[in-house]
Amino acid sequence: MLFLINFAHFFEQCDFMGDKKLFIETYGCQMNFSDSEIVASILKNDGFEIIDNKDDATVILINTCSIRDHAEQRIRRRLSELKSLKKRNPDLQIGLIGCMAERMKEEVFEKHPEVDIVAGPDSYRSLPELIAQAAMGQAAANTILSEEETYAEIQPVRLHSNGISAFISIMRGCQNFCSYCVVPYTRGKERSRSPQTIVNEAKELFEKGYYEVTLLGQNVNSYQWEEAGKIVRFPDLITMVGDIHPDLRVRFTTSHPKDLSDDLIRAIAGHENICNAIHLAVQSGNDRILHKMNRKYTRAYYLERVAAIRKQIPDCGISTDIIVGFCSETEDEFQDTLSLVREVGFDSAFMFKYSERPNTMAQRQFEDDVPEEEKLRRLDLLVQLQQEMSLESNRRDIGKIVRVLIEGTSKKNKKMLMGRDGRNKVVVFQTVDTSLKGYVDVTINDCTSATLIGTLL
């Protein structure tokens, strides 16, 4: 591993970079987009201008995802494309940051000589020094994971925000160690951020005109902060954020079923501005596969949690993640997943075929023995079924009036506005005034499997 030498005082005396122009490209989950905003803040404080055109940049950072091989292949292709930029501008610095950087560490320099900087998710504070070190012609890396880093006091630069909704990271890391997942190895031990810094960030966003915040974590349900003998858990935290103002809508993601408490369900039910939307990743509908995935719950327990949600919040939107073709999954076990999808009737789902990741428990202990064509067949059947479930869910909304937070104009029709309701369903509607902002009531009169179509009330 390459270790960072702190030349900070020396760097202050010298101008290695000339113009400091930063371009950040982000891949993967919402946590990565949130991290890019933290990186932008750190480097902006170091004198960098954040720009939208990579051709004018002096430093390009690629914030990476390792959750599936497909994600890493996209990033590898992107690095190859950036080689031409580096040929035209030898002084350009290219950095690989985030989960893929953490997983590969110094191997990045061997496989991608165009990369000058490697930084893991817990080392973003060292980026100014790493950039200066690379400007001296040295490969610069810091992939040391931390048990304490939360970037709590850093005010993110809202790169990916529409000025209406924003992400707030409430915790980092994960220690569930699902057998297929690389996240605990790339993001380290789970640790929570001070609740007061979270509430203060949400208040500041509301005061700046934001209508919605999404609380982010690998497993927000296990959030816990202890100070002066008082313990704040996730139901307490989301209540604190929800109490800021009735017009501040609060979302959260993502939830692990084993930690979804009745207290959290009651907190959502008791606040109109905490969205009736829970993303509850199931991954499989078969107990043997769930055990092999190390998910720590059974099919029956998952269905009991869904029933508890619907008892307290009858109109709650429930979405999920599902993996097909996990190691040794049989056809009958796959059918168990399809039957669970029918039984729950998810509003939407993220669906994937199993992708073996290096150094995970599954890669070390199990054979990836479901043929690729079989994985694709199962995925296709699952996608078809979920589209039917989504369409059924949306058809039940026809005739209803839903409250929508406007996010902007529709991508397909600039004469229509789009937004989301409290269940996280996308709603489009026609209006003569496309400058409308905030909350509106919309009557739903049509739908597709992905979108509700309505009329402004």
16-20, 332-336, 448-452: lowest mean pLDDT where?
Answer: 16-20
Whether 220 has a pLDDT exceeding 90, the answer reads yes
C-alpha 90/C-alpha 87 separation (Å) is: 6
Does 308-396 match 161-275 at the fold level?
A: yes
Average pLDDT taken over every residue of the chain: 94
**70 vs 262, more confident:** 262
Total length of the chain: 457
C-alpha 172/C-alpha 442 separation (Å) is: 37
C-alpha 178/C-alpha 283 separation (Å) is: 10
C-alpha 450/C-alpha 454 separation (Å) is: 13
Show me where the domains of the chain are located.
8-142, 161-275, 308-396, 401-456
Cis check: omega of the bond before 254, within 30 degrees of 0: yes
**Which CATH number fits the domain 161-275, given the four candidates 3.40.50.150, 3.30.750.210, 3.30.1320.10, 1.25.40.10?**
3.30.750.210
Structure tokens at 153: 């006091």
Whether 2 has a pLDDT exceeding 70, the answer reads no
User: Stretch 315-325: mean pLDDT, rounded?
Assistant: 97
**Which CATH number fits the domain 8-142, given the four candidates 3.20.20.140, 3.40.50.12160, 3.30.1780.10, 2.40.10.10?**
3.40.50.12160
Identify the pLDDT of residue 161.
77
Confidence of residue 46 (pLDDT cuts 50, 70, 90): very high
Confidence of residue 235 (pLDDT cuts 50, 70, 90): very high
**CATH 3.30.750.200 assigned to 308-396:** yes
Give pLDDT tens digits for 337-394.
999 999 999 999 999 999 999 999 999 999 999 999 999 999 999 999 999 999 999 9
Confidence of residue 19 (pLDDT cuts 50, 70, 90): confident
Identify the pLDDT of residue 18.
59
CA angle 219, 222, 228 (to 5 degrees): 140
Structure tokens at 37: 């905003």
Place of tokens 């054979």: 367
User: Stretch 242-264: mean pLDDT, rounded?
Assistant: 97
Identify the pLDDT of residue 4.
41
Which residue pairs from 425-429 have beta carbons closer than 8 angstroms and sit at least 24 positions apart in sequence?
425/317, 425/347, 425/394, 425/397, 425/451, 425/452, 426/450, 426/451, 426/452, 427/402, 427/451, 427/452, 427/453, 427/454, 428/452, 428/453, 428/454, 429/404, 429/453, 429/454, 429/455, 429/456
268 class by beta-carbon count within 10 Å (0-12 exposed, 13-18 middle, 19+ buried):
buried
> Which numeric CATH code is attached to 401-456?
2.40.50
For 207, the 3-state DSSP assignment is helix
User: Stretch 21-38: mean pLDDT, rounded?
Assistant: 95
C-alpha 410/C-alpha 454 separation (Å) is: 13
Whether 15 has a pLDDT exceeding 70, the answer reads no
Are 327 and 289 in contact by the 8 Å Cβ rule? The answer is no
The span from the first CA to the last CA of the chain, in angstroms, equals 61
- Pairing of the two strands 348-353 and 93-98: unpaired
Residues whose CB is less than 8 angstroms from the CB of residue 115 and which lie 6 or more positions away in sequence, other chains included: 79, 94, 95, 96, 108, 109
Identify the pLDDT of residue 126.
97
Q: Quick one: CA dihedral 77, 79, 82, 84, positive or negative?
A: negative
Residues whose CB is less than 8 angstroms from the CB of residue 101 and which lie 6 or more positions away in sequence, other chains included: 64, 108, 118, 119, 120, 143
C-alpha 216/C-alpha 254 separation (Å) is: 7
Give pLDDT tens digits for 398-448.
999 999 999 999 988 888 999 999 999 999 998 888 889 999 999 999 999
User: Stretch 121-129: mean pLDDT, rounded?
Assistant: 97
Comparing CA positions, the residue from 204, 238, 206, 205 lying closest to residue 221 is 238
Structure tokens at 107: 């191997």
Give pLDDT tens digits for 138-185.
889 999 999 999 999 999 999 877 899 999 999 999 999 999 999 999
Whether 305 has a pLDDT exceeding 80, the answer reads yes
